[in-house]
Structures are given as C-alpha cells and as structure tokens.
Amino acid sequence: MTAPWIDTLNTLVSVLLFFIGLCGLLLQRRVVRQVFSLKIMLQGVTLGLIQAGRMHGDVQFAQAMVISALIVEAVVIAVALALIVNVFRHYPSGDVDHLNRLRG
C-alpha cells in the first residue's frame, strides 16, 4: 500500500505538465517549440491516465488507454513534423505569425 500523498503528487505533476504544455503552446511563436509544448501536454495526459487507473484499481484498462494514447500521439507528432517541414520551406524563421501569407 502506498502513501496517499503519492497519489496527490502524481495528480499534481500530471496537471502541471499539462498546463506547462498548454502555456507553451499558446505563448510560443516558433513552430518547433509549439510541437515540444504539445508533446509535454500529451505526456501530462498519459501520466494522468496511469494515475486515474491506479487510483481506481483498474491498471490494465489504464495501460490499454495509454497504449492507445501513445499511438495517437505518434500520429500527431508525425503530422506536426510534416507541417514543420512545410513551414520552414516557406519561412526559414519558423514564426507562426507569418503563416497568414500561405493562404491560396
């Protein structure tokens, strides 16, 4: 049996990771940093899924959800990297404020 403060700490860390990623996603202008922030957010969600499964006593279901989330995360990161390549082709600075000129 683990101490109850461990559950609180894990929950706080997962929420903190999510909000750090969210702030980075909203405040950063460079596309690469936004992808890193998105990755931090997804890691917070993954930790939250594991913690929720652990607290409710259904670790196997939480592990299945995490595997599904990791697959979705890999697809999201692959699409984001493809978008980064296209952004850097047109705008080597990678600043997302200049992307309004890409409209066709």
Domain boundaries of the chain, sorted by first residue: 12-89
Cα–Cα distances in Å, from 40 out to 33, 37, 61, 93? Answer: 11, 5, 23, 23
> Considering the entire predicted model, what is its pTM?
0.79
Strand partners of residue 30: 95
pLDDT tens digit string along 58-82?
Answer: 889 999 999 999 999 899 889 988 8
Q: Class assignment of domain 12-89?
A: mainly alpha
Question: 1 pLDDT exceeds 60?
Answer: no
